[in-house]
Amino acid sequence: MNTLMKTEYSSMWVLSKNNTKTGVCVAQYIGRTDAECMESCEGCPLLESKHCYAHFASFVRVSHIRMIQCMEKENGKKYTMKEVYQDRFFRAARFIRLGARGDPSRSKVDTEQGMDVAKIWNLPVIGYTHFPEDVPQWKGRMMASCSEWEEADELVADGWKVAMDYEFPHSGITSPDGHQAIWCPHESTGGKVTCGECLLCCTEKESVPIILFKHKLPIWEKGRVNVGRNKRRNVSEVQ
């Protein structure tokens, strides 16, 4: 870890209403500046490879930067849980999404608060960390993320539910150690299922121990997949 890095970052909370993948949810963004958010991910392999969905393969980063700009205005929103609760659409929220951008293990105090408030609000929690070794106390409360089958098997054996970044996923895969995996229903149905309907990533929901997510390309590389005939065939085969 970079020694200049803070050990604890503050979070921003928002009622996310327009995300077609998640549906309406309460979302936590780590860091109160763009730089802080990126720092909170230091050490994550998807940051280095630029395959992180939140930073490079979607408009999640743009949304976060807009929130930060809004917060910096005089009388701007502060992005607190109180504001979320006071939002007139709050009752439409189906779950709390920890670490919509940034890693929640680098914002332990606010993440713990989010988990506590989720109980009071009676909302399920969905969250992922790439640093499960730093937060063993969250085992059973959020998922551990990885990109290799061996690591997935180790994490499952250690008691974690696992989210794995995978290049060409399809249903019914079994890990080398025999743990069952399923491809995220939102991805496998081409977007017909939202997280609020699925909730497989909620650790309290019974499911197979490993959930697979299609390997994401940075926005600036997506066009290359579409012009490659073989790659295009491969992508459609698994959808």
Which spans of this chain sit near ligand SF4 (rule: CB under 6 A)? 41, 44, 46-47, 52, 54-55, 101-103, 126, 130, 184-186, 193, 195, 198-201, 211
61 phi/psi in degrees, rounded to 5: -65, -40
Pairing of strands 162-166, 11-16: unpaired
Instruction: Output the smallest distance, CB 41 to ligand SF4, in A.
Output: 3
Closest CA to 40 of 77, 19, 84, 10: 10
Q: Using the minimum distance from each CB to ligand SF4, give the nearer residue, 149 or 233.
A: 149
Q: Using the minimum distance from each CB to ligand SF4, give the nearer residue, 47 or 81.
A: 47
Instruction: Output the smallest distance, CB 3 to ligand SF4, in A.
Output: 19
Instruction: Output the smallest distance, CB 195 to ligand SF4, in A.
Output: 3
Determine whether 9 is exposed, middle or buried from the number of CB atoms within 10 Å of its CB (0-12, 13-18, 19+): buried
Instruction: Output the smallest distance, CB 130 to ligand SF4, in A.
Output: 4
What is the 3-state secondary structure of 55-72?
A: HHCCCHHHHHHHHHHHHH
> Are 114 and 85 a contacting pair, CB within 8 Å?
no
**3-state class of 90 per DSSP?**
helix
Q: Using the minimum distance from each CB to ligand SF4, give the nearer residue, 15 or 144.
A: 144
Q: Using the minimum distance from each CB to ligand SF4, give the nearer residue, 103 or 153.
A: 103
Instruction: Output the smallest distance, CB 9 to ligand SF4, in A.
Output: 12
Q: Using the minimum distance from each CB to ligand SF4, give the nearer residue, 14 or 47.
A: 47
